[in-house]
Amino acid sequence: MRAIFTAALLIAALPASAETLIVGNKGEDTVSFIDLASGKELARVASGANPHEVALSPDGARAAVVNYGGAAIDVYGVADGKRLATWDIGPNSRPHGLIWLADGRLVATAEASKTLVVIDGTDGRVLQSIPTEAEGSHMVAVHPSRPRAYTANLKSGSASVIDLESGRTVAHLPAGREAEGIAITPDGKQVWISSRGSNEVHVYDTATNKLVRRIETGPFPLRIAISPDGKHAVTSELQAGALGVYSVETGTRERTIPVSGKAEAMQVTILFRPDGKRLFVAETGTNTVAEVEWPSGKVLRRLPVGEDGDGLGWSPVG
């Protein structure tokens, strides 16, 4: 049964020095705010339909959460969990991947409308709606120093390369079946695309759009993240309940980190803390987020969240 929550009943004050984990609970249309010092859920508030990915403002004070079941983005204050605004981005619909850029803009994939949407981070105005020219544009990554965005296209099995200055798609990178996860190395030299339908990762040179290597992975690698030091790529392998760890330099699979070890945990989103000492792993099947020590791979604890907790965001603000 879908739970119904009201912000007035569930909001609690967060400690002033807390780190906060924000979780989109897609199974009940809520967002959880977790105090990482205590591990306690201090707020759970209502969201729009089917909340998925989470992005933090550059100062960490606001959290944006997409409404994958509609055409809007909710914005919350991290310090108190209150919903500050709901931005309508229609006719762009089914927003999923989301990044808040350092210049204050947001970029979001809109899967149903096959667009990448650029949004003003002050008032939610849609600045650009750029066709991705692909089906199922699901996740997004943005180059750290060039005006380039990359969308992972589930149905097309590719990544679209989008020039944010001209507002057009300039290339398509073949990436296997059901390309979903996407991440760019901190130096901006490579984009890594994980494809859950063919159990592989494709690595491309961002300067030339040429394939660097193809890597076989564990089962169902539907997310990928690069460690903050740029040395490792990590895949979230749902059917194994595990993480695959790869050398960015060589592409070699170095090890497997068991998290739950079970497909039933429905392991999805992974997120590094910016200092690289922790990795958060959403387990939608058990309504928990596993906190994993990095690089040891030790599961330190499991944080209770709402139903089908999936999208993750980290903030230094409490």
**In the chain, what are the domains?**
1-126+308-318 (2.130.10.10)
The mean pLDDT of 138-147, rounded to a whole number, is 98
| Res 17 pLDDT > 90 | no
How sure is the predictor about 9, in pLDDT bands with cuts at 50, 70 and 90? Answer: very low
**CA-atom Rg of the chain in angstroms:** 18
CA dist., res. 83 & res. 289, Å (int): 22
The residues pairing with 41 across neighbouring beta strands, listed in sequence order, are 34
How sure is the predictor about 318, in pLDDT bands with cuts at 50, 70 and 90? Answer: confident
pLDDT at 262: 97
CA dist., res. 124 & res. 118, Å (int): 9
**Residue showing tokens 């497909």:** 263
| Res 6 pLDDT > 60 | no
The mean pLDDT of 284-311, rounded to a whole number, is 98
Residues in the chain: 318
How sure is the predictor about 18, in pLDDT bands with cuts at 50, 70 and 90? Answer: confident
How sure is the predictor about 10, in pLDDT bands with cuts at 50, 70 and 90? Answer: very low
Q: Is the pTM of this model over 0.85?
A: yes
